[in-house]
Amino acid sequence: MMQWLTRLPPRWQARVMHLGFNLHPAFRGTGGRVETISPDLSHMRVRLPLGWRTRNVLGTIYGGSLFSVTDGAHPTMLMLALGRNAIVWDKAATIRYRRPGRETLYVDFLITPEEIAGIHADLARHGETERTYLVELKNREGLVHAQVERTVYIADKAHYKQKLSEKSA
């Protein structure tokens, strides 16, 4: 699906990813909007405003919006960083609500070059790995309103195909 995107230069990948997230109906439904994606795809910032689309009956940001605005960022960033020979899936997620969101919140997603090198090493050694990422939804002053922990499964494409064929046999 995203293989054509991996053929573009990173700056264009960032532009397409920015536009793609903001236009995708499922992401738009969260109420969140991607503000920035770094040209090297290592950082992404999402804004979640309190508005009619995100407000619950108590007048605060709906918990579903807090949770779902974090969906897809790390897997997409990893797919682009690892290239066409990697399979990336969201595996698990949990949320901890810290305080009601009564204002615009922000969440930053970060993948370092060291993280990518570690993933490459794990894939070379084991064929697959998992990574857990903790992201925090914060207000402009940095006060944490929610923490979301997401576990991502990553596999070498050949390893993944072999694993699937063994399961079906």
* Assigned CATH class of 3-168: alpha beta
Domain locations along the chain: 3-168
| Neighbouring residues of 38: CB distance < 8 A, sequence distance ≥ 6 | 14, 44
| pLDDT value of residue 4 | 66
| pLDDT value of residue 76 | 93
| pLDDT value of residue 70 | 97
Does this model's pTM top 0.85? My answer is yes
Question: Minimum mean pLDDT among 34-38, 82-86, 100-104, 106-110: which range?
Answer: 82-86
Quick: pLDDT tens for 110-119.
999 999 999 9
**Cα 43 from chain centroid (whole Å):** 10
Mean pLDDT of 7-26: 86
Six token digits for residue 18: 């920015």
Rounded distance between C-alpha atoms, residue 46 and residue 36, angstroms:
7
